[in-house]
């Protein structure tokens, strides 16, 4: 009797164990099933990501108005400038020629080795301060460094003169000029551009223009960028509009882009989509009569 009870107990135990085994199998099957569902979901996510990336690549390749990017933001052009020669236009023939200065070679160049990022940061802070005082309501604002209304202080005056001299030396070396025959000219200004729609014609920086046509005295134009394309702002790339295509330079803080000012360098700036773009335009003439001096200590 006792034995029987033991057997029954054993039998009961056996069924329990069987049940447990079955339950275990069911659980394992379930988790295998859930596992493969997870895999499917992961696969779906991967497929969606790949599709999104493909669409993004396709959309960015639709950047069809841009033929070539001359210099990307992430590149560091140093120590030598990257130079692109272009045949000179006839614009210079309408003006008196100054040997050793008037462009005989024309072109455009970019360098990241003339102004440090630290200097560009200091200049940007000064630009922010100056432009805040100027109290413009956005779009494109400029702060003329020779308006007389400006008093940026000693720090600005010193950095500016120093940076201007180095840019001038770089232009002279690149174009084979005598640096002492180049003169700073008007207008020379800070610009701040954000995504606000321009209200005045003056703001419409995105229209193609030729510096020598707009300002007869310009012979060489330089731009010193104070913010980074892609992280401080999007849009706002500089575009050289050639007959056979549009070529861009992506702004980078501390980057100097310079070019002969004639029709050979017809250009525009893309509309800024997001963020704020700061730059300084520093222009040079060969005509001493149009020369101006650096901003002085107020
Ligand atoms: C542009 O800057 C102005 C002045 O600081 C500001 O009022 C405006 O909201 C800004 N616009 C955008 C789109 O950030
Ligand atoms: C250059 O850009 C302008 C407008 O920005 C556009 O009308 C023109 O088709 C572009 N040229 C080329 C060759 O893509």
**Residue of 232 and 49 predicted with greater confidence:** 232
Which tokens in the block code for residue 278? Answer: 């700061």
Q: Is 138 in the pocket of ligand 1 (CB under 6 A)?
A: yes
Angle at 243 between CA 242 and CA 249, to 5 degrees: 20
Distance 65 CA to ligand 2 centre (A): 5
Q: Is 230 in the pocket of ligand 1 (CB under 6 A)?
A: no
| pLDDT tens per residue, range 64-81 | 688 899 999 999 999 999
% residues pLDDT > 90 (the chain):
52
Q: Which residues line ligand 2 (CB under 6 A)?
A: 65, 67, 241, 245-246
Proximal ligand: closest to the CA of 65: 2
**Residue of 199 and 283 predicted with greater confidence:** 283
Instruction: Please report the pLDDT score of residue 69 as a whole number.
Output: 95
Instruction: Please report the pLDDT score of residue 3 as a whole number.
Output: 43
Provide the residue ranges of all domains of the chain, joining segments of one domain with +: 1-62, 68-290
Distance 197 CA to ligand 1 centre (A): 10
Closest atom of ligand 1 to CA, residue 194:
1
Residue whose CA is closest, atom 9 of ligand 2?
Answer: 65
Instruction: Please report the pLDDT score of residue 41 as a whole number.
Output: 84
Closest atom of ligand 1 to CA, residue 139:
1
pLDDT of 126 over the 80 cut: yes
Angle at 143 between CA 139 and CA 146, to 5 degrees: 155
* Token pair 């072109």: residue: 107
| pLDDT tens per residue, range 9-65 | 454 555 665 665 556 555 555 555 566 778 888 888 777 757 677 766 655 555 668
Instruction: Please report the pLDDT score of residue 20 as a whole number.
Output: 56
The pTM assigned to this predicted structure is 0.78
- Rounded to the nearest integer, the mean pLDDT of the chain is 83
d(CA 190, CA 173): 25
Phi, psi of 190 (to 5 degrees): -80, 140
Q: Are 237 and 270 in contact (CB under 8 A)?
A: yes
- What are the strands of the beta sheet with 277-285, ordered from one edge? 82-86, 106-111, 256-260, 220-225, 277-285, 183-193, 140-144
Instruction: Please report the pLDDT score of residue 49 as a whole number.
Output: 58
Closest atom of ligand 2 to CA, residue 66:
14
| pLDDT tens per residue, range 128-157 | 888 877 656 667 787 777 765 556 677 788
Please name the fold of domain 68-290.
Answer: Jelly Rolls (2.60.120)
pLDDT of 167 over the 70 cut: yes
Which tokens in the block code for residue 232? Answer: 């401080």
Mutate to test the pocket of ligand 2, among 62, 65, 204 (most ligand atoms within 8 A of CB): 65
Instruction: Please report the pLDDT score of residue 288 as a whole number.
Output: 95
List, in order, residues 6 or more apart from 147 with CB less than 8 Å away: none
Instruction: Please report the pLDDT score of residue 201 as a whole number.
Output: 47
Q: Is 194 in the pocket of ligand 1 (CB under 6 A)?
A: yes
Q: Is 196 in the pocket of ligand 1 (CB under 6 A)?
A: yes
**Residue of 202 and 242 predicted with greater confidence:** 242
Closest atom of ligand 2 to CA, residue 64:
14
Instruction: Please report the pLDDT score of residue 48 as a whole number.
Output: 78
Distance 157 CA to ligand 2 centre (A): 40
Q: Is 277 a catalytic residue?
A: yes
> Region 277-284: what's the mean pLDDT?
95
């Amino acid at each position: 009797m006792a034995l029987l009870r033991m057997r029954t107990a054993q039998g009961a135990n056996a069924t329990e164990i069987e049940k447990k085994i079955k339950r275990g199998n069911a659980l394992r099957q379930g988790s295998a099933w859930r596992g493969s569902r997870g895999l499917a979901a992961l696969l779906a996510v991967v497929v969606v990501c790949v599709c999104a990336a493909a669409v993004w690549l396709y959309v960015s390749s639709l950047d069809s108005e841009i033929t070539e990017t001359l210099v990307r933001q992430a590149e560091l052009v140093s120590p030598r400038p990257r130079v692109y020669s272009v045949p000179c236009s006839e614009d210079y023939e309408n003006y008196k020629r100054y040997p050793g200065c008037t462009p005989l070679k024309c072109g455009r160049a970019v360098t990241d080795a003339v102004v440090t990022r630290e200097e560009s940061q200091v200049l940007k802070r000064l630009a922010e301060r100056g432009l805040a005082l100027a109290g413009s309501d956005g779009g494109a604002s400029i702060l003329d460094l020779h308006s007389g209304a400006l008093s940026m202080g000693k720090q600005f005056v010193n950095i500016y003169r120093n940076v201007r001299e180095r840019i001038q030396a770089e232009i002279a070396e690149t174009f084979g000029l005598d640096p002492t025959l180049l003169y700073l000219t008007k207008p020379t200004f800070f610009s701040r551009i954000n995504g606000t729609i321009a209200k005045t014609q003056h703001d419409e920086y995105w229209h193609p223009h030729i510096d020598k046509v707009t300002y007869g005295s310009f012979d060489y134009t330089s731009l010193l960028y104070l913010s980074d394309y892609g992280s401080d702002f999007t849009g706002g790339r500089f575009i050289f509009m050639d007959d056979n295509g549009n070529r861009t330079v992506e702004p980078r803080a501390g980057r100097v882009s310079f070019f002969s000012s004639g029709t050979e360098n017809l250009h525009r700036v893309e509309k800024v989509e997001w963020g704020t773009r700061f730059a300084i335009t520093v222009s040079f003439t060969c005509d001493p009569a149009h020369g101006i001096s650096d901003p002085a200590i107020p």
